[in-house]
Amino acid sequence: MALNVVDLASISQVCKSWNKASRDPTLWRKLDLTGLSSSSFKIPMVPQAWKDMQSSIKITQFMKYVLSLSNGNTSCLIFNYYVYLTDVHLILAAERTPYLKRLVLPCSGDLSKLGLHTAMSSWGSLESITITSMYHANALVRYTPNLKALSIRNILVNMRALCHVLENLHHLEEINICHSLILDRPEAKVVVYRIHDLENHLNISCRRKLIFCQRKSCLRCKNGCDNNPTRQPYGLFEDIWREDEIRSLAH
């Protein structure tokens, strides 16, 4: 049975020999914080519940500890779906994961432009990222020139930001926009773009990079058919958080 991040943190405190064993670099290639649970932190597993200062401090302390165990060997970082991400969390992670190649951000948070740019400037090796807001566009273009895969599904996407990313990230191979609402606000008027509208705004090479839901074939549509009564209210999204229609990003 594989140990999750909470298990590893716990056994590292048993004795010196176990602490040494828990620092094995192979254990930390992927740091998956989805292993955090309400029993571990006594925080309800619902969006916004981790927003208060006490919860934020708990997450910060835990991240400091497990990242010290990883000793900079993490190449894939997956945040828990419910963590309310702040500048402190993101910069802390960036400073301690200089060789990160894969990043999955949580569903909510409050990041400043300075905090975002400070963190992203440490991640020049990033090749894939799942983000929750396209205000990251400028930072992506500036600091992650080697990005190959980008997942921005189920969010609001600014059309100009999308074009900026597609036109300037030259190594980008795939971008997932399943169930995202693409819009713009030229001259104070909101314009919503459907998939076929993109033909008039993107060249064919850019359009070929887009992945979108066709005939309810995406993970969200398939997962929404699960009517298990024991499922949590936000299970539809949490269940697929670590997965992706871009096959190279599935975990």
Residue 101: pLDDT band (50, 70, 90) is very high
Residue-averaged pLDDT of the chain = 83
Beta carbons within 10 angstroms of residue 55's beta carbon: 18
Instruction: Kindly report the three-state secondary structure assignment for every residue of the chain.
Output: CCCCHHHHHHHCCCCHHHHHHHCCHHHCCEEEHHHCCHHHHCCCCCCCCCCCHHHHHHHHHHHHHHHHHHCCCCCEEECCCCCEEEHHHHHHHHHHCCCCCEEECCCEEECCHHHHHHHHCCCCCCCEEECCCHHHHHHHHHHCCCCCEEECCCCEEEHHHHHHHHHHCCCCCEEECCCCEEEECHHHCCEEECHHHHHHCCCHHHHCCEECCCCCCCHHHHHCCCCCCCCCCCHHHHCCCCCCCCHHHCC
Unique residue bearing structure tokens 């919503």: 192
Which whole number is the average pLDDT over 135-143? 82
Say whether pLDDT at 85 is over 60: yes
The interaxial angle of helices 113-120 and 87-96, nearest 10 deg, is 10
Please state, in angstroms and rounded to a whole number, the distance separating the CA atoms of residues 105 and 82. Answer: 10
Residue of higher predicted confidence among 233 and 116: 116
Residue 230: pLDDT band (50, 70, 90) is very low
What pLDDT does residue 251 have? 57
What pLDDT does residue 172 have? 93
Say if residues 29 and 18 touch (Cβ distance below 8 Å). Answer: no
What pLDDT does residue 186 have? 78
Which whole number is the average pLDDT over 104-113? 86
Cα angle, residue 34 at apex, residues 28 and 38 outer, rounded to 5°: 125
For the segment 142-193, what is each residue's pLDDT rounded down to a tens digit?
A: 999 999 999 888 888 888 888 899 999 999 999 998 888 888 887 778 888 8
Unique residue bearing structure tokens 């949590």: 232
Which whole number is the average pLDDT over 131-139? 72
| Residue type, position 80, single letter | N
What pLDDT does residue 174 have? 92
pTM of the model: 0.84
Among residues 16, 149, 184, 164, which one has the least CA distance to residue 76?
149
What pLDDT does residue 17 have? 93
Residue 100: pLDDT band (50, 70, 90) is very high
Say if residues 52 and 98 touch (Cβ distance below 8 Å). Answer: no
Q: Which residues pair with 171 in a beta bridge?
A: none
Range in 48-52, 140-144, 219-223, 224-228 with the lowest mean pLDDT? 224-228
For the segment 18-56, what is each residue's pLDDT rounded down to a tens digit?
A: 999 999 999 999 998 887 765 666 666 776 767 888 888
